[in-house]
Amino acid sequence: MFKLTKLLSVFCLLLGIQFSVDAQWKSFVLSRGGDTLNRVDFKDNKQGPWVLSVPALRGERGYEEEGYFLNDQREGAWKRFSLEGVKIAEENYRWGKLNGKQLYFSYNGGLIREEQWRAMDPAIAYDTVAVYDLKDPDKQVGEVVVKNEGISMRNGRFVHYDPRSGRVLLIENYVMNKVQEDISSSPPKQDTVARVLPKVIQDFDKKKKKN
């Protein structure tokens, strides 16, 4: 009788946990380990850990992705795998946009490309980005003020590799979607930059520097 009562207590406890989970999410799936995945809250926003599966279609290979959603936007590290289980991408997100280092691999596992992206804070209208010497990454040679268009921008090194040998094929340096040229010999003057920038951008830049 004691064992039966104990089993019933455990069952009721598990049932109570399940009811609690059901009440928290509009929909979700359970992993083999009992974790809740692919959660959707009652505002129809994706939340927490997700696993996405994209089937092959019209000659395009299928793949699976795993990562984290925050208020219906991708956040943090995401990984993409072929349907055979080979990792083909490592991406990083902020505010639902690519941010930081991204890595892309062949279906045989060789590194194809390394990219650097910058997501802009949706709460600000403009952002100031430092420009560094191509030969000396620690030496700042200028600044670029960019209007926030609500997109992620190429910003940093893009390195292309031979996926078989690992040899570097091409290196490109971007500053907010524009290929960077070597301007170390003639860095822009501050007064020249101030004259060509609209006043609203100058005021924003000054305010940001004070903060």
pLDDT digit string (tens) for 178-196? 998 754 444 444 433 333 4
Q: pLDDT grade, residue 206 (50/70/90)? A: low
Average of per-residue pLDDT across 204-208: 56
Q: Per mean pLDDT, which range of 11-15, 46-50, 140-144, 180-184 is the poorest?
A: 11-15
pLDDT of residue 87: 98
pLDDT of residue 104: 98
Does residue 169 or residue 195 have the better pLDDT? 169
Residue 120 has pLDDT above 60, yes or no: yes
Q: Residues 139, 143, 149, 150: is their CA dihedral positive or negative? A: positive
Closest residue by Cα to residue 100 from 155, 139, 182, 170: 155
pLDDT of residue 202: 57
Residue 197 lies in a domain: yes
pLDDT of residue 190: 40
* Structure-block tokens of residue 189: 């003057």
Residue 14 lies in a domain: no
Residue 171 lies in a domain: yes
Residue 127 lies in a domain: yes
Full residue range of the structural domain in which residue 168 is found: 108-211
The one-letter amino acid code at 94 reads: R
Q: Which residue has the tokens 């009992």?
A: 34
Average of per-residue pLDDT across 60-81: 97
Does residue 177 or residue 206 have the better pLDDT? 177
pLDDT of residue 67: 98
pLDDT of residue 137: 82
The one-letter amino acid code at 147 reads: K
Residue 7 has pLDDT above 50, yes or no: no
Q: How far apart are CA 164 and CA 90, in angstroms?
A: 19
At 29-53, the pLDDT tens digits run 998 888 999 999 999 999 999 999 9
The one-letter amino acid code at 170 reads: L
Q: How far apart are CA 26 and CA 14, in angstroms?
A: 19
Task: Indicate the number of domains in the chain.
Answer: 1
Q: Residues 144, 150, 156, 157: is their CA dihedral positive or negative? A: negative
DSSP secondary structure, 64-131, as one string = EEEEEEETTEE-EEEEEEETTS-EEEEEEEETTEE-EEEEEE-TTS-EEEEEEEEPPPTT-SEEEEEE
pLDDT of residue 209: 54
Residue 90 lies in a domain: no
pLDDT of residue 15: 45
Residue 176 lies in a domain: yes
pLDDT of residue 193: 36
Question: Parallel, antiparallel, or unpaired for β 111-118 and 100-105?
Answer: antiparallel
Residue 204 lies in a domain: yes
Q: pLDDT grade, residue 12 (50/70/90)? A: very low
pLDDT of residue 151: 93
Residue 121 lies in a domain: yes
* Structure-block tokens of residue 36: 């809740």
Three-state DSSP state, 146: strand
